[in-house]
Structure 1
Amino acid sequence: MATRDDGAGAWYHRGQVCCTNRKLDEALACYDKALELSPDNPLLWRRKGFALIKAGRYAEATVCFDRALAIDPDDATAWQRRGYALACMGRKEGAVACFDQALARDPEHILAWQSRGWLLGTLCRYDEAAACYETVLRIDPDRGSAAWHRERMRERRDLAALASEVREAERFMEVPACIREVVRERDYGNAELARAVLREMVGQAERPAVQHR
């Protein structure tokens, strides 16, 4: 004889197929049917939340992840996905906290590290973001996307540092247009070279001042 859990499983698998095929309204209806039969199953709440993320319904998704976490507080994937939903709503600090919760429970949760790196990059915390991608590569050295994102974070860090150094240098010297152009055009590839040239020019400008003291 079929049990309620058997019925929930059938609805769950139907929902999975619909979600994979991006029939999101149908998927959500299936997950709701499954949850009617098994309301205390955290996987069902998590999967419904994921479908809501794919549908762009982020606030509703966080409610589902909260339900999942109320049942299983150590579900690292639910924490990661809750963080992603919060990030998409602009609640970035709360999202970082969720990624940290995920990683406290599973230090090798690659999606949590990648999500954390992506979000820290949007907050201009480039060194921390690069470190996240570095951790991904220690876990999975063949993950080329992490290597690519790590380098982009380092380039953005160098460009942000150059912009700051240009502003400081302009207080007492004329910064060449070619260096200012690197900042204006977001020329990441030449940011490190421009910083080296600017540091040399600043050093030359400061030496006469020191000599006349």
Structure 2
Amino acid sequence: MATREEGAEAWYHRGQALCSTRNYSKAIACYDRALELSPEEPVLWRRKGFALIKAGRYDEAAACFDRALSLDPEDATAWQRMGYALAHLGEHNEAVACCDRALALDPHHIVAWQSRGWVLGVMCRYDEAMDCYEAILAIDPDRGSAAWHRERMRERRNLEALASEIREAERIIEVPACIRDVARERDYGNVDLARAVLRELAGQAERAAVQRP
């Protein structure tokens, strides 16, 4: 990092050290001192925003990333972190857009793919979330966390599909309690079986209705 003031760099490194020990409040104070000396340095704004995220101060973090991006709009990491902060503020569509900006700048930005997948999962857009984790695995096939999250998105998608199929089947059959329990208890291990049984029961009812004189 290059700053106009040697003192700003010293405060920056103090902030970094404090972040590494999770002392985020003191780290933020150090970044503030650095910014007093070098207010046009985007890395300082980005690092302060990161510390604010860790402290759970998402509004302030988003303001820092906004300032960092006004100084350096090509900073993929700042876009990713802006998206993360906005997601915590409930601005999910804007968060996805920020991740998209990050990935347009750096298609191999794994953390941006992770953030995008997480937000899409929160939005119940499970197939798109799975695509994000697939993208991570294409970059780093050994990243076990991406494979784990991909499977969780698949489970949630399938559970949502079961709930929808239960509502549809209720029009023609009495859905067994055991199938309802799978959905109610989020019994991911039995979702595929429950869906198969439900489809068979609904199909039997439909065939019987057609065969009636």
Q: 2:22 is matched with which residue? A: 22
Q: 2:177 is matched with which residue? A: 177
Q: Within the alignment, does 1:53 sit opposite 2:45 as a pair? A: no
In 2, the alpha carbon distance for the partners of 1:84 and 1:203 equals 45
Q: What amino acid is the match of 2:103? A: L
Q: Deviations over 1:45-76 (max 9, x none)?
A: 10000011111111111111011100111111
Q: 1:205 is matched with which residue? A: 205
Q: What amino acid is the match of 2:91? A: R
- TM-score of the two chains, using structure 2 as the length reference: 0.95
Larger displacement relative to structure 2 (15-24 or 76-85): 15-24
Q: What amino acid is the match of 1:78? A: A
Q: 1:63 is matched with which residue? A: 63
Q: Residue 212 of structure 1: CA displacement?
A: 4.5
In 2, the alpha carbon distance for the partners of 1:25 and 1:152 equals 34
Q: 2:155 is matched with which residue? A: 155
Q: 2:125 is matched with which residue? A: 125
For the residue of structure 2 that corresponds to 1:17, the secondary structure is helix
Identity between Structure 1 and Structure 2 (%) = 73
What do you get for the CA RMSD once the two structures are aligned? 1.4
In 1, the alpha carbon distance for the partners of 2:29 and 2:208 equals 75
Please tell me whether the aligned partners of residues 172 and 202 of structure 2 are also in contact (alpha carbons under 8 angstroms): no
Q: 2:134 is matched with which residue? A: 134
Q: 1:100 is matched with which residue? A: 100
Q: 1:10 is matched with which residue? A: 10
Please tell me whether the aligned partners of residues 133 and 147 of structure 2 are also in contact (alpha carbons under 8 angstroms): yes
Larger displacement relative to structure 2 (32-41 or 123-132): 32-41
For the residue of structure 1 that corresponds to 2:5, the secondary structure is helix
For the residue of structure 2 that corresponds to 1:104, the secondary structure is helix
**Residue segments in structure 1 that go unaligned for 5+ positions in a row:** none
In 2, the alpha carbon distance for the partners of 1:25 and 1:124 equals 34
Q: 1:115 is matched with which residue? A: 115
Q: Within the alignment, does 1:79 sit opposite 2:76 as a pair? A: no
- TM-score of the two chains, using structure 1 as the length reference: 0.95
In 2, the alpha carbon distance for the partners of 1:22 and 1:151 equals 31
Q: 1:191 is matched with which residue? A: 191
Q: Deviations over 1:12-55 (max 9, x none)?
A: 11110011112222211211121122211111110000011111
In 1, the alpha carbon distance for the partners of 2:176 and 2:65 equals 53
Q: Residue 103 of structure 1: CA displacement?
A: 1.0
Q: 2:89 is matched with which residue? A: 89
In 2, the alpha carbon distance for the partners of 1:148 and 1:110 equals 15
Q: 1:31 is matched with which residue? A: 31
Q: What amino acid is the match of 1:59? A: D
In 1, the alpha carbon distance for the partners of 2:182 and 2:145 equals 26
In 2, the alpha carbon distance for the partners of 1:41 and 1:131 equals 35
